[in-house]
């Protein structure tokens, strides 16, 4: 369920370290995994061949780790936290794939603001968030730290 209490279009000044948001839930399909493989040219048998994946100890094909990371960013973007205030992503740190993401998993993202600091440029600031991709059993599948560059709120009288 989407957390509708979080403000949209957050400026740097609006971010409160410690605040959290949850996204809507998304069911991952086999077709999603295969399409991601086609788009990225990653057709490793872990992502395409049930028998091979079972030989490796899984219940069938598993999603690409980067699919889970991309899905986290996509689900977070649906919250529109930075729809008109994001200048860009500065990168991902400490990415961990703790559990496999499987077809038919129902997942959501928990985003928590962990740090913020001013930038050298006065019109922007840097915010650090932790992302967790959580499955229907409450297990964290993927966890990562994301650093984003946000606009600062214009001073009174500025456009």
45-63 pLDDT tens trace: 999 999 999 999 999 999 9
Residue 47 CA to residue 54 CA, distance in Å, equals 11
Reported as a single tens digit per residue, the pLDDT across 71-105 is 999 999 999 999 999 999 999 999 999 999 999 99
* pLDDT attached to residue 5: 54
Residue 61 CA to residue 156 CA, distance in Å, equals 55
For residues 20-33, average pLDDT: 97
Query: SS3 for 38?
Result: helix
Residue 58 CA to residue 62 CA, distance in Å, equals 8
Read off the pLDDT band of 154 (50, 70, 90).
confident
Return the domain boundaries, the chain. Answer: 12-151
Count CA atoms closer than 13 A to 59's CA, side-chain side. Answer: 8
Asked if the 12-151 domain carries CATH number 3.10.129.10, the reply is yes
* pLDDT attached to residue 158: 59
**All residues at 6 or more sequence positions from 116 whose CB lies less than 8 Å from its CB, including other chains:** 12, 15, 17, 125, 126, 127, 128
* pLDDT attached to residue 26: 97
Higher pLDDT, 15 or 157: 15
Average pLDDT, the chain: 93
Position 3 pLDDT exceeds 50 = no
Cβ contact 2:23 at 8 Å: yes
Nearest by Cα to 126 from 12, 8, 6: 12
* pLDDT attached to residue 155: 76
**All residues at 6 or more sequence positions from 43 whose CB lies less than 8 Å from its CB, including other chains:** 37
* pLDDT attached to residue 1: 36
Specify the DSSP element, H or E, that contains 108: strand 106-118
Position 159 pLDDT exceeds 70 = no
């Amino acid at each position: 369920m989407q957390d509708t209490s979080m403000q949209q279009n957050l400026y740097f000044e609006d971010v409160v370290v410690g605040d959290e948001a949850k996204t809507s839930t998304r069911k991952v399909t086999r077709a999603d995994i295969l399409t991601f493989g086609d788009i990225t040219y990653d057709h490793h048998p872990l992502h395409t061949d049930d028998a091979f994946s079972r030989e490796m100890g899984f219940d069938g094909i598993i999603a690409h780790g980067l699919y889970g990371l991309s899905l986290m960013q996509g689900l977070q973007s649906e919250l529109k936290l930075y729809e008109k205030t994001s200048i860009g992503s500065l990168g991902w740190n400490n990415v961990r794939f703790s559990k496999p993401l499987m077809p038919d998993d129902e997942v959501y993202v928990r985003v928590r603001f962990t740090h913020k600091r001013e930038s050298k440029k006065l019109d922007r600031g840097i915010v650090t968030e932790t992302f967790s991709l959580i499955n229907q059993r409450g297990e964290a599948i993927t966890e990562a730290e994301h650093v984003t560059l946000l606009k600062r709120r214009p001073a009174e009288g500025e456009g």
